[in-house]
Amino acid sequence: MDKRRFSNRGANPRRSFGRGFGKRFAQKIMPNSELIGAIQAGRAVNEIKQTQPEAEFIPQNKFEDFKISPLVLENIRQKGYTTPTPIQDQAIAPIIEGRDAIGIANTGTGKTAAFLIPLVDKVFRNKAERVLIVAPTHELVLQIQEELRAFAKGLGIYSALCIGGVGMGRQISQLRQNPHFVIGTPGRLKDLIGERNLQLSQFHNVVLDEADRMVDIGFINDIKYFISLLPQVRQSLFFSATISGKVKEILQKFVKNPVTISVKKQETAENIEQETIRIEPGYNKIDKLHDLLRQEGFDKVLIFGRTKWGVQKLTDELIRRGFKAGAIHGNKRQNQRQKVLDAFKSNEIQILLATDVASRGLDIPDVSHVINYDMPESYEVYVHRIGRTGRADKKGIALTFLEPNG
C-alpha cells in the first residue's frame, strides 16, 4: 500500500498508518491490548495463511463424479461452478450417502453449496423429502435462498422464506403449500411453530448454518427447542466456524455418527493488506474517515461499527457530507436492509455501514476496503470482518481505527 495516499491534515502518515505503532502505547492506553497487538503485529495475516494449504488445492472429485442427477449438474454448470472447493469436495459425497455431517468452515469457503447441492438432488429424486435450514440472520437466509433457486432451477422444487421484519401472512401461505425447503431465522421460525403454522416433525433433513453465530446472539435455547421437535430419524447437517462449549451442547443432541469436515480456510484472506490508523489526540475521527473516503481507490467500502445507533449516526453524517452511503442494522426492517444491500451490490451507493450481527454471511463481490471504525469485540470477529474484502482472487485492504481512549 502507498501510505502517501493517506497523508492529510498535517498528520504523519508513517505514524498514523504503519504497522510500527508501538506496543507500549497499545498496552498502556488501549483496551483489549491482545487484540490490538494481534492486528498490529500482522498475526491475522499469519494465522489465515497457516490455515491454507501450502500447496495449491487439487480437488479429488469433479462435480460429475458425485452421484448427482444430470439436471442438477447442468444447474451447477450454469451457475459457473467448475471444480469443487475443499469443503464441497469432502462434504457432498457423504451427504449424498445420507450421513450426518459437521462442517467446520468460515464464510467464503463454499459451504452453502456443499449442503445445498446434495439436498437439492435428494429432493429432486424424491419430492416427499422436506428440508429445514436455520441460519442466524436475514441476509444469510436470503443468500441461501438465492443459491437454492439457482441449483433448483427448472426442477419443480419450491421453498418458503421465514424471516422477521416482514409480515407473516405470505410466509404462512407459502408454508400451507408444503414447500420442499423452509429457510428461516430462529426467531421467526419459533413464532410460526408457536402459532402452529410450522410442524418440524415433517422435516427429515435439517441444516444448522453458522451455528456458532446463532449461539453468540442468544438463540441456543431456541435451537435446542427446535431439535426437540424434530423426528428422531433424520439427516442432520451442522456448519459452524468454531465449536465452543455451548455449540457442543447442541451437537450432542443433533447429529448421530457424523462425518466431520474441517476447512478453516478463507480463500482470499491472503490477498488482504491490513493496516491500522491511529487517531492523534485532538484529531476528529469522522474527519479522518472523511479524508480516507475521498482518496483514490476507495471504490466500494464496508464500514463496521459497534452499535446500531452508532452505525446509523455515522451513516447520516456521511450522507450529510455528500457520500453515497447506506446502513444495515437490527433497527431497520428487512425490506429496508435488502434495498440498501442491493444498492451497494449494484454500485448505486459507495459505502455500506453495518453492525456485526447484520453483516453475518454477507458475500458481496469487489469490496475494495473494509474499515473497522469501531474495534471488534474479538479476534474472531476481526477475521470475519476483514474477510469481506480480498475475495475471488482480488486484492483488498482492511483498515482499523485505533483511538487513544479506545
Domain spans of the chain? 3-52+267-402, 63-263
Q: State how far the Cα of 109 lies from the Cα of 240, in Å rounded to an integer.
A: 12
What would the grid cell of residue 338 be?
435488502
3-52+267-402 CATH choice from 3.40.50.460, 1.20.140.10, 3.40.50.300, 2.60.40.1930:
3.40.50.300
Directed axis angle between helix 33-41 and helix 43-50, to 10°? Answer: 70
Collapsing DSSP to helix, strand or coil, 326 comes out as: strand
63-263 CATH choice from 3.40.630.30, 3.40.50.300, 1.10.3720.10, 3.40.50.1860:
3.40.50.300
Whole-model pTM above 0.75? no
Q: State how far the Cα of 251 lies from the Cα of 155, in Å rounded to an integer.
A: 32
Do 3-52+267-402 and 63-263 fold alike per CATH?
Answer: yes
pLDDT tens-digit readout, 274-291: 888 887 777 788 999 999
The burial of 170, by beta-carbon neighbours within 10 Å (0-12 exposed, 13-18 middle, 19 or more buried), is given as exposed
Q: Which of 265, 257, 334 minimizes the C-alpha distance to 100?
A: 257
pLDDT tens-digit readout, 240-273: 877 878 888 888 889 999 999 988 644 445 677 8
Q: Which of 247, 241, 213, 244 minimizes the C-alpha distance to 227?
A: 247
Positive or negative: CA dihedral 48, 53, 57, 59 = negative
User: What pLDDT does 107 receive?
Assistant: 67
Among 295-304, 324-333, 391-400, the least confident range: 391-400
Q: State how far the Cα of 4 lies from the Cα of 32, in Å rounded to an integer.
A: 29
User: What pLDDT does 270 receive?
Assistant: 63
pLDDT tens-digit readout, 117-174: 999 999 999 999 999 999 988 888 988 999 999 999 999 999 999 998 788 999 999 9
Strands (E), 30-112: 101-105
Radius of gyration of the chain (CA): 22
Single-letter residue type at 258: P
